[in-house]
Amino acid sequence: MEDSVSKETLRSLPAVDEILREEAIKEAVETYPRTLVVRAVRNILDRTRKAILSGEIGPDPQYFDRSNLVGKIHEEIERLASFTLQRVINATGIIVHTNLGRSLLAQDVLERLQLIGSGYSNLEYDLQAGSRGSRYVHAEAILCEITGSEGALVVNNNAGAVVLVLNTLAQGREVVVSRGQLVEIGGSFRIPDIMARSGALLREVGCTNRTHLYDYEAAIGPDTALLLKAHTSNYQIIGFTAEVSLKDLAALGKKHGVLVMEDLGSGCFVDFTRFGLSGEPTVQDTVRSGVDVITFSCDKLLGGPQAGIILGSNELMAQLRQNPLTRALRVDKLTLAALEATLRLYRDEDAAIKAIPTLRMIATELGTLEEQAHDLLERLRNSMAAHIKGEVMDGSSMVGGGALPVQALPTKVVALSSEKISATRLEAHFRGYEVPIIGRVEQELFLLDMRTLQPGDVEVIVAAATQLAT
Ligand SMILES: *Cc1c(COP(=O)(O)O)cnc(C)c1O
């Protein structure tokens, strides 16, 4: 009985050709590629067929109404035709949000991208000699100028930088690491796994909470290639703890003729204590500590494009360049253009804080955020349905990107709630808007954190709120 009903319902579904003859679909073919329209028709018919067979849709005539089907097909065409990578509004308050693309590029950087991306460049061409040059010279000089390092090498990202250094300097040999620093950062980067893939042998020393200089010293032998310190960027060990300072580790390495490396994770050139955040070592201080190799990211606290930087002596950089892996981890010209432009901004620290969005968001004062929150709330009140209530509340933003995990930045949020719509549905509405707005739900409130909003975002948020059901 059931079966015959669903068979009959199935038969009432129109054929693909029949739908393609519908006036509204013919019009779509004038705007969109025919193959895309056909695919949309097939997708909707397939989905409907499956829903009938699973019993989800009964013989409901309204469902098979042509205009209903055509409407669904139009939505599907829009979906198939739209970009998959698109702009979203970050109202989460997490500044370096890895899922939302980490750092935003400064205006000067975008202009540089436009220039270098739209024309030819001397990427690997020596203009003085009139012959082949190296792409690696472009960011090197400014990196050495800012950090005080003798040499520098840029690769695709910091994970790549760590692999390259370990593989070049420690393949088949031992790398000594404290048990308190066997870091896992998101996206399957784990020190022990990376070490194994690089061909280096992990030699763990010390305990999770305490590692001493003598632990490292006792582990040094003829097979030791490196002493590695990993910045525990996304967690903190507190209580009865001890770790060896970079300076002491560097001195120990020198004494035994063993290289010392620090994976800084999120590198930064600015002292963050000026923003009330402590514990993030600067790259410059790390260079001064005397370690041999330093690696860090460019799209975390540095606020640049995705890339990884390796600092060390010219001799070490030459060794790294000879490794075929360097070719596999090669940076693109757009990355180099964006990186050089970002780094140049650091020549004037105060200007850098104004121009680099990541730094600007960290530096924004609470009073400014409060004013902006009240302004947003007022505009929302003027345009939202009456059942939606809003208020300005205190909140906390996070730096994100695995940096400064236990320190929050005080912020102001606009909190929305309604007796008719749950906070989860409010969240879904804003996330589903044509420019998706990503906020967070806390205690039955939908929160929009002012700290990570960009110029122009407020207008979009107001437009999205206007579309909420009355
Ligand atoms: C983020 C991070 C990495 C990886 O850097 P990517 O640039 O994301 O590849 C490596 N090590 C540490 C300690 C990190 O925090």
pLDDT class for 224, splitting at 50, 70, 90?
very high
Rounded to the nearest angstrom, the distance between the alpha carbon of 159 and the centre of ligand 1 is 6
Residue 110 has pLDDT above 50, yes or no: yes
At 208 the pLDDT is 84
For residue 297, tell me if it sits in a domain: yes
Rounded to the nearest angstrom, the distance between the alpha carbon of 163 and the centre of ligand 1 is 11
Rounded to the nearest angstrom, the distance between the alpha carbon of 297 and the centre of ligand 1 is 6
Closest ligand 1 atom to residue 230 Cα is: 13
Q: Which of 112-121, 168-177, 271-280 has the lowest mean pLDDT?
A: 271-280
Q: Ligand 1: which of 184, 189, 299, 399 to mutate, judged by most atoms within 8 Å of the beta carbon?
A: 189
Say yes or no: 368 and 348 in one domain: no
Closest ligand 1 atom to residue 162 Cα is: 10
Tell me how far apart the alpha carbons of residues 117 and 111 are, in angstroms, rounded to a whole number.
Answer: 10
Say yes or no: 412 and 429 in one domain: yes
Residue 452 carries which side chain, given as an amino acid letter? T
**Last-in-domain residue among 326, 355, 384:** 355
As given in the structure block, the two tokens for residue 111 are: 């202009």
Say yes or no: 145 and 62 in one domain: no
Q: Give the closest residue to 293 by CA, choosing from 264, 273, 321.
A: 264
Q: With left for phi above 0 and alpha for psi between -120 and 50, is residue 467 left, alpha or beta? A: alpha
For residue 202, tell me if it sits in a domain: yes
For residue 456, tell me if it sits in a domain: yes
Q: Where are the beta strands (DSSP E) in 127-258?
A: 131-132, 151-155, 174-178, 184-185, 189-190, 201-205, 224-230
Say yes or no: 290 and 366 in one domain: no
At 293 the pLDDT is 98
Q: Which of 66-75, 227-236, 242-251 has the lowest mean pLDDT?
A: 227-236
Which CATH number characterizes residue 417's domain? 3.90.1150.180
Rounded to the nearest angstrom, the distance between the alpha carbon of 227 and the centre of ligand 1 is 18
Residue 6 has pLDDT above 80, yes or no: no
At 61 the pLDDT is 61
Tell me how far apart the alpha carbons of residues 49 and 342 are, in angstroms, rounded to a whole number.
Answer: 53
Nearest CA to ligand 1 atom 11: 265
Say yes or no: 132 and 240 in one domain: yes
Rounded to the nearest angstrom, the distance between the alpha carbon of 98 and the centre of ligand 1 is 11
Please state, in angstroms and as integers, the Cα–Cα distance from residue 379 to each residue in 121, 393, 427, 460, following that order.
47, 16, 19, 11
Q: What is the mean pLDDT of residues 121-133?
A: 97
Say yes or no: 237 and 323 in one domain: yes
Tell me how far apart the alpha carbons of residues 68 and 193 are, in angstroms, rounded to a whole number.
Answer: 52
Residue 64 has pLDDT above 70, yes or no: no
Closest ligand 1 atom to residue 264 Cα is: 13
Say yes or no: 208 and 73 in one domain: no
For all residues of the chain together, what is the average pLDDT?
93
Taking only the tens place, the pLDDT of each residue in 179-197 is 998 878 766 788 889 999 9
Which CATH number characterizes residue 240's domain? 3.40.640.10
For residue 102, tell me if it sits in a domain: no
Residue 62 has pLDDT above 80, yes or no: no
Burial class (CB in 10 A: 0-12, 13-18, 19+), 222: exposed
For residue 385, tell me if it sits in a domain: yes
How many domains does the chain contain in total?
3
Residues with CB under 6 A from ligand 1: 157-159, 162, 183, 185, 189, 230-231, 233, 263, 265-266, 297, 308, 402
Element (H, E) at 153: strand 151-155
Nearest CA to ligand 1 atom 7: 158
The residues with which 205 forms a beta bridge, in sequence order, are: 178
Tell me how far apart the alpha carbons of residues 39 and 167 are, in angstroms, rounded to a whole number.
Answer: 47
Residue 37 has pLDDT above 70, yes or no: yes
Taking only the tens place, the pLDDT of each residue in 257-302 is 999 999 999 899 999 998 888 878 999 999 999 999 999 999 999 9
For residue 347, tell me if it sits in a domain: yes
Nearest CA to ligand 1 atom 5: 158
Tell me how far apart the alpha carbons of residues 435 and 429 are, in angstroms, rounded to a whole number.
Answer: 11
Residue 15 carries which side chain, given as an amino acid letter? A
**Last-in-domain residue among 355, 374, 391:** 355
Say yes or no: 115 and 67 in one domain: no
Say yes or no: 170 and 283 in one domain: yes
Q: Ligand 1: which of 103, 235, 263, 296 to mutate, judged by most atoms within 8 Å of the beta carbon?
A: 263
At 1 the pLDDT is 44
Say yes or no: 93 and 134 in one domain: no
Say yes or no: 284 and 413 in one domain: no
For residue 47, tell me if it sits in a domain: yes
Residue 5 has pLDDT above 70, yes or no: no
Dihedrals phi, psi of 89, to nearest 5 degrees: -100, 125
- Using DSSP's 3-state secondary structure scheme, residue 164 falls into helix
For residue 470, the tally of other CB atoms under 10 A from its CB is 8
Q: Ligand 1: which of 103, 158, 162, 264 to mutate, judged by most atoms within 8 Å of the beta carbon?
A: 158
Taking only the tens place, the pLDDT of each residue in 389-442 is 999 999 999 998 777 777 889 999 999 999 999 999 999 999 999 999 999 999
N residues, the chain: 470
For residue 41, the tally of other CB atoms under 10 A from its CB is 26
Q: Report whether 400 contacts 233 (CB < 8 A).
A: no
The residue segments making up the domain with residue 457 are 89-97+362-466
**Last-in-domain residue among 47, 81, 115:** 81
Nearest CA to ligand 1 atom 15: 265
Say yes or no: 317 and 445 in one domain: no
Measured CA angle at 363 (ends 362, 367), to 5 deg:
110
Rounded to the nearest angstrom, the distance between the alpha carbon of 203 and the centre of ligand 1 is 21
For residue 236, tell me if it sits in a domain: yes
